[in-house]
Chain A
Amino acid sequence: MRVWVRLLPPFGDGKTWHEIDLPAESGVQQLIERLREIQPQIGPYLRHNLEETFHQFILFRDDHVLSGSDFLEQDDRIVIVMPLTGG
């Protein structure tokens, strides 16, 4: 399965869509593990579980914020961004 990921600053340049291959029926956890390998700059933002990691960044599919239990689909376009924490 192929998905596309764009990492907004400070996680990436905010412009490039990275093509990422994942096993079929992968979810958010698998995507983040793959990103750890190919985008090592996100390493310092990863925590011991997804719940904690989501305090550092969140993943959007359109305007939907993905949870740790969400599955991905072929050609999903995912944007990674710092979370909203109030205002």
Chain B
Amino acid sequence: MSNGYMGKILRIKLDTREIKIEPLREDWAQKYIGGTGLATRYLYEEIDASTKPEDPGNPILFMTGPLGATRSITSGRHQIVSLSPLTGIFGESDCGGSWGDQLKKAGFDGILVTGKSPAPVYLWINDGRAEIRSADRFWGVDTYDLDPLLKSETGAKATVACIGTAAEKGALIANIMHDGADARAAGRCGLGAVMADKKLKAVVVLGTGKVSVANEEGLRALVKTHAPVVADRLKDMRKYGTARMIQASEQLGSMPIQNFKYPYRWEEGAAKISGPAFAEKVILEPYFCGGCVIGCGNTIQVKEGPYKTVVGGGPEYETINLLGANCLVDNLEAICLANELCNRYGIDTMDTGNLVAFAMEAFEKGLITTADTGGVALNWGDPDAMLETVRMIGEGNHIGGLLRQGLVRASRAIGRGAEDLAMHTKGLGIPAHDPRAYNGLACSYATSNRGAHHTSGQTHLYEHRLEVPELNHKPPGRFVVEGKGTLAALTQNIMNVLDSLKSCKFAQNGGWTIGPLTEAFHFVTGRTDTIERLIEHGERSFNLKRLINVDRGITRKEDTLPKRLLTLAKTAAGYTPNLPPLEEMLDEHYRVRGWSKDGIPLPETLQRLEIP
């Protein structure tokens, strides 16, 4: 077993109920590190160009990284990878909490699940052993209620990854929830729908093992240097959660407001759903993922009133913006309840927020009416209309049955111009960072392998404020165009490294960037890969994902943004009326990546990266 790895992959075939423990492909770990890279390499091996998301042979992979369950800070994360039923292409989602650490302590770097069970099951993984158990009695139970039920028949200290009721009923925006009411979500790409299709209700893990570290003293010293700095630089996240960024987002013009079309400033609304407002009204205490020194999560409760919630994980920045500002809803308590509903149903708050805003605009334009909504008027800014739409999506009632199939299918079915109201790239709803506020982010969204997602590149941070001394990187400014195709490629490669090591991206803001992470990787594994070599591993992962997508028809045509974000400038007072010159940036991006003008990796690129 190599340092940093447990050396084992758990392979499950649900149709034959076969459980096999196989050695980790260490040759792949050398080139793809772990997490997203390694999971993608396994995925690539399991599928061919004809494999569809709904095929039994489409695997779902849960993969940890080499830093997980070590003292390396903010590394208790894991990646889930599969072909996405929502988008039809490569799908992945990253998740915090403690599930990833537990899986490693249970003796496995990852789990690969194929086949479809004829009846509901869950996996119980406990210190090197795995079992497939019946989940008949758990089918139909929501994610908050399921967690204690599963713990009662496995172990009180076990951690649960599971799907909710929406996935069971065919929602394609279904996510995979973790840790019960603490609500850590692998939200994106509809991966919960893959589990539901396999009748896999949950994966429960418990482990007590340890990860072998090559140089414990070196790692300890590195962490001792960096942890206090990270904690201080991000200390207000502990108090205000990720909502601390809400008002900066409004100032920057990057807040999504009214389905990305609002022509005014929204400062008063932003104040009502800001971090300080959350702290004053609902936050009970911070929540820390495994190995975290930041504590950006929070436990909240709306104690009384029509939007009362249980004690549980609070809404994050993306959720607050997309279910709030994007629907013109400034009622913080209603957003908290919407968050709880989404979590219980097991649906992505980001796509749900986009879908509610889409439905409100479709209603405004008369494309849908109260006949489609069970009599609910989907008026902008109405918290009850927002909540009812979330319920419709969660339950599959009325227009919700269509909306839960995602923005592409819903907008096509409604027609009459509804496609122009659907804010997505490659079928994935746009995150709560408006790409008109950052040119590099626009390029990054457009070329992201899973569809638009802010953490696939975090390019906005690198162009706006993040300095990375070890790369001689200084932020070039948000509206600069030249070099942004290159920056998008660099940051996507770096994020592939972080998602392979499984390190939290927030910590970059505290200085836990690719430089110290390279040192941590060195101390944990004993490997001597340079920063440049690690970034090359990230580039390899990115290109492999692209190949999977090229096999599914993705070319330059799909590397785009919604028309609104390319043609409608934000002209409110104080905002720069920028429109991202996407085609120019794509030319540069493809050139730097070694792709053809159509966005296909060239043979020499694949050869350089040793991609099979």
Whether, in the assembled complex, B398 has its beta carbon less than 8 Å from a beta carbon of chain A, the answer is no
**B246 and chain A: residue at smallest CB distance:** A82
A62 to B571, CA, bound (A): 12
A2 to B233, CA, bound (A): 31
Chain A 38-71: CB-based contact to B (< 8 A → 1; otherwise 0): 0000000000000010111010101101000000
Partner pick for A85 among B237, B454, B455, CB 8 A cutoff: B237
A56 to B236, CA, bound (A): 8
> Which B residues lie within 8 Å of A81 (CB)?
247-248, 251
Whether, in the assembled complex, B143 has its beta carbon less than 8 Å from a beta carbon of chain A, the answer is no
Number of B interface residues, CB 8 Å?
A: 43
On whether the beta carbons of B509 and A58 are closer than 8 Å, the reply is no
Q: Which of B75-116 contact A (CB under 8 A)?
A: none
> Which A residues lie within 8 Å of B277 (CB)?
9
Given contacts A8-B271, A14-B271, A85-B509, contact A55 B248 (CB under 8 A): no
**A61 and chain B: residue at smallest CB distance:** B574
A19 to B236, CA, bound (A): 27
Closest Cβ–Cβ distance, residue A65 to chain B (whole Å) = 7
Whether, in the assembled complex, B458 has its beta carbon less than 8 Å from a beta carbon of chain A, the answer is yes
On whether the beta carbons of B248 and A83 are closer than 8 Å, the reply is yes
Closest Cβ–Cβ distance, residue A71 to chain B (whole Å) = 17
Whether, in the assembled complex, B159 has its beta carbon less than 8 Å from a beta carbon of chain A, the answer is no
> Which B residues lie within 8 Å of A87 (CB)?
242, 245, 249, 317-318, 431-433, 454-455
Partner pick for B242 among A8, A52, A56, A86, CB 8 A cutoff: A86
Chain A, interface residues (CB within 8 Å), range: 20 to 34
Whether, in the assembled complex, A31 has its beta carbon less than 8 Å from a beta carbon of chain B, the answer is no
Interface of chain A, helix or strand or loop or mixed? loop
A55 to B229, CA, bound (A): 11
Q: Which of B234, B454, B465 has the most CB of A within 10 A?
A: B465
Whether, in the assembled complex, A35 has its beta carbon less than 8 Å from a beta carbon of chain B, the answer is no
A56 to B244, CA, bound (A): 11
Closest Cβ–Cβ distance, residue B471 to chain A (whole Å) = 17
> Which B residues lie within 8 Å of A63 (CB)?
251-253, 437, 574-576
Whether, in the assembled complex, B444 has its beta carbon less than 8 Å from a beta carbon of chain A, the answer is no
Whether, in the assembled complex, B24 has its beta carbon less than 8 Å from a beta carbon of chain A, the answer is no
Whether, in the assembled complex, B240 has its beta carbon less than 8 Å from a beta carbon of chain A, the answer is yes
> Which B residues lie within 8 Å of A83 (CB)?
245, 248, 465, 509
**B239 and chain A: residue at smallest CB distance:** A10
> Which A residues lie within 8 Å of B254 (CB)?
84
Closest Cβ–Cβ distance, residue A86 to chain B (whole Å) = 5
Whether, in the assembled complex, B276 has its beta carbon less than 8 Å from a beta carbon of chain A, the answer is yes
Chain B 178-222: CB-based contact to A (< 8 A → 1; otherwise 0): 000000000000000000000000000000000000000000000
Whether, in the assembled complex, A22 has its beta carbon less than 8 Å from a beta carbon of chain B, the answer is no
Partner pick for B276 among A10, A65, A85, CB 8 A cutoff: A10
Closest Cβ–Cβ distance, residue A12 to chain B (whole Å) = 11
> Which A residues lie within 8 Å of B129 (CB)?
none
Partner pick for A84 among B233, B431, B465, CB 8 A cutoff: B465
A83 to B245, CA, bound (A): 6
Chain B 250-264: CB-based contact to A (< 8 A → 1; otherwise 0): 011110000000000
On whether the beta carbons of B574 and A62 are closer than 8 Å, the reply is yes
On whether the beta carbons of B234 and A55 are closer than 8 Å, the reply is yes
> Which B residues lie within 8 Å of A3 (CB)?
none
**B316 and chain A: residue at smallest CB distance:** A87
Q: Which of B257-303 contact A (CB under 8 A)?
A: 271, 274-277
Whether, in the assembled complex, B11 has its beta carbon less than 8 Å from a beta carbon of chain A, the answer is no
Closest Cβ–Cβ distance, residue B151 to chain A (whole Å) = 31
On whether the beta carbons of A60 and B251 are closer than 8 Å, the reply is yes
> Which A residues lie within 8 Å of B244 (CB)?
82, 85
A44 to B346, CA, bound (A): 40
On whether the beta carbons of A84 and B245 are closer than 8 Å, the reply is yes
Q: Which of A52, A60, A65 has the most CB of B within 10 A?
A: A65
Closest Cβ–Cβ distance, residue B83 to chain A (whole Å) = 26
**B279 and chain A: residue at smallest CB distance:** A10
> Which B residues lie within 8 Å of A84 (CB)?
245, 248-249, 252, 254, 460-461, 464-465
Whether, in the assembled complex, A79 has its beta carbon less than 8 Å from a beta carbon of chain B, the answer is yes
On whether the beta carbons of B236 and A82 are closer than 8 Å, the reply is yes
A30 to B66, CA, bound (A): 46
Whether, in the assembled complex, B505 has its beta carbon less than 8 Å from a beta carbon of chain A, the answer is yes
> Which A residues lie within 8 Å of B271 (CB)?
8-9, 14
> Which A residues lie within 8 Å of B461 (CB)?
84-86
Whether, in the assembled complex, B506 has its beta carbon less than 8 Å from a beta carbon of chain A, the answer is yes
On whether the beta carbons of B247 and A85 are closer than 8 Å, the reply is no
On whether the beta carbons of A58 and B248 are closer than 8 Å, the reply is yes
Closest Cβ–Cβ distance, residue B401 to chain A (whole Å) = 30
> Which A residues lie within 8 Å of B510 (CB)?
55
A63 to B574, CA, bound (A): 6
> Which A residues lie within 8 Å of B239 (CB)?
10
A62 to B479, CA, bound (A): 14
On whether the beta carbons of B464 and A65 are closer than 8 Å, the reply is yes
Closest Cβ–Cβ distance, residue A7 to chain B (whole Å) = 11
> Which A residues lie within 8 Å of B432 (CB)?
87
On whether the beta carbons of B458 and A65 are closer than 8 Å, the reply is no
**A59 and chain B: residue at smallest CB distance:** B251
On whether the beta carbons of A86 and B251 are closer than 8 Å, the reply is no
> Which B residues lie within 8 Å of A60 (CB)?
248, 251-252
On whether the beta carbons of B245 and A85 are closer than 8 Å, the reply is yes
18 CB contacts below 8 A, A to B, read A10-B240, A55-B509, A55-B510, A56-B236, A63-B252, A63-B437, A65-B252, A65-B464, A82-B240, A83-B245, A83-B248, A83-B465, A84-B460, A85-B244, A85-B245, A86-B505, A87-B433, A87-B454
Which residues of chain A have a CB within 8 Å of any CB of chain B? 8-10, 14, 52, 54-56, 58, 60, 62-63, 65, 79, 81-87
What 10 additional pairs, Cβ within 8 angstroms, besides A60-B252, A83-B245, A84-B461? A9-B276, A63-B253, A65-B464, A79-B251, A82-B245, A84-B245, A84-B254, A85-B234, A86-B458, A87-B431
* A-B pairs, 7 with minimum CB distance: A9-B276, A55-B233, A62-B574, A85-B509, A84-B248, A82-B244, A60-B251
